[in-house]
Amino acid sequence: MKKIVILIILLLLPGLLLFGSEKPHFGQIEYSDDTVDTTDARIILNAPTTGLVGELIELDASKSSATSFTWRVIPGTPNFKIIENGKKALFCSGQSGTYTFILAAAKRDTVDCVVHIIVITGAPVIDTFAAAIKSWLPANADPEILEKLAKSFERVASAGHTDVAVLVKTTALSNRGILGPDLEEWTPFLKSLSTYLKTSYAEANVEQHIELWFKLAAALRSIK
């Protein structure tokens, strides 16, 4: 009887050693902790209903459940900029009036839409800032360059920078690339802007710089 038991053990030993060195897999199914988001598109918009002339207003939809956003403002205005991939927008007006903002959002095959109205009150702002900018420019500044510089300020301001030094450096590189062979002619403008930043924005945070960048873009476009 002992001989039979020993024989059986010897016959099974190779298989036992094999399973001991490598874990067997019997139709193993891997489970993930990730859950599928089945919620529909839903907009949560945080924005005021009133504002003052010249005030920078933020429309914040960052808490929404959506993967894409589309904005429209009526009446149209160049002082409306979409940032953070559509999750937020910035707006200001130089005159009183009623502005209607339409925001549509999508998520998979679902959509949501909200209409938000902001009433702007107050006297028109005398744009001394634009006058100062104009005094820094070369005589008979090329409108095409003015527009390119305006777009440069807007593009950098909309890029989501969180560090002032990076924002300023990125803008300087962009502007120098635009000016190219005309850089010497525009040097007084660049130096005046640098001096203005050092004297008036030395302690300003990145949000204040972004607001200024949009003001610079609007000022450059207003110059005839």
Indicate the SS3 state at residue 58. strand
Q: Which two tokens stand for residue 83?
A: 């940032």
**Does 176 reside within a domain?**
yes
> What predicted TM-score, i.e. pTM, was given to this entire model?
0.52
Looking at the domain assignment, is residue 98 inside a domain? yes
- pLDDT-wise least confident of 35-49, 72-86, 134-148, 168-182: 35-49
Domain limit, last residue, from 63, 93, 121 = 121
**Beta-sheet strands, E only, within the chain:** 50-52, 57-60, 68-74, 80-83, 88-91, 97-107, 110-121
What pLDDT does 130 receive? Answer: 82
Q: Does residue 27 fall inside a structural domain? A: no
User: Are 116 and 146 members of one domain?
Assistant: no
Q: How many domains does the chain have?
A: 2
Q: What beta strand segments (E) does 33-189 contain?
A: 50-52, 57-60, 68-74, 80-83, 88-91, 97-107, 110-121
Q: What is the pLDDT of residues 120-157, one digit of tens each?
A: 999 876 667 888 888 999 988 999 999 999 999 999 99
**Do 158 and 175 belong to one domain?**
yes
Structural domain boundaries, residue 93: 50-121
